[in-house]
Structure 1
Amino acid sequence: MTEIRLVRGDITEMSVDAIVNAANSSLLGGGGVDGAIHRRGGPEILAECRALRASHWGRGLATGEAVATTAGRLAARHVIHTVGPVWSADEDRGGLLAQCYRSSLRVAAELGAETVAFPAISTGVYRWPLDDAARIALGTVAESAAPPVRTVWFVLFDAPAYAAFAAVHTR
């Protein structure tokens, strides 16, 4: 059984097998978690992302999909990039958010990763409500994580995100 842990902190400081990046579809960096991972990880990550865009992902990575690169200068071994959905009050996109977690766990397993760190995907500029994001994230990981993944960390950047995930995790 996979252990799920919560920590408040900076995902770029995690020493795990794989860090999940809440990427944009271009794979070429951006703001929030994506920008922090690219800045701290260095040019090696961007170089691999450019190579991915020049090959199979010429149009970019679709929402819910995941792909891995080096972690560059990060303490992790790999970065798994996934594109979360933008929240909508008019359309249920929860399945796409869950797919981000499932796809990332599948890629992690293919890499042989035993430890994986996730951010709160789609809760920044994509405006997903924290309580709903926590419910989807924790539920999907609890249902989907399988060996070789032993430990999944949710690395929450601020107190509101940590509180939302902790409220769901303790149920």
Structure 2
Amino acid sequence: MRKGWQHPVLLAPRTLRPWLTATGSLTARLIAHYPDFSVRVLRQTLAPPHRDERRPLRVARGRVEAREVLLMSGATPLVYAHSVAAPAALRRGFRAVGKLGNRSLGSFLFATPTITRSPLAWRRLDRRHPLWRKAAQQLPGLSGPLWARRSLFRAGADALMVTEVFLPPFFRLQG
């Protein structure tokens, strides 16, 4: 999981560091800071996993169930969130994920006591990373690097990977 996701957090903007390293629910933290919080689902579909998702999910080939959302404050996108799991995991330990609709994934993950979470990992993303390119589709004119954090959630033998990419409007609101 950590390969490529070990950039020193001290390289991140100072105002972002507490957000990258906070171990609780990002959704709960955003709601506390942004009362006009909402989730906008961009897509939920079967897709090939990104190269850096294959090993942690133990998926060499094939497709994963991918859910992409924007975490918003009003009309302002703050975080692009990308979650992936093997399709079998959504039929077993993570079956509720397919029924979330516009509810946050965190509302399910942190309310389910049998789900465990790996330590957080983070990195700076540039235009070479597929998640940077997907986030850039939501923010025309994006040019600089983005910071993201990632963790793996487990329900028994099933795994779900969540990556949260902090967008420039978030930085402006925090600064």
Q: Tell me the TM-score normalised to structure 2 length.
A: 0.31
The structure carrying a bigger helix percent of its residues is 1
Bigger RCO (CA 8 Å, 6+ sep): 1
The structure carrying a bigger strand percent of its residues is 2
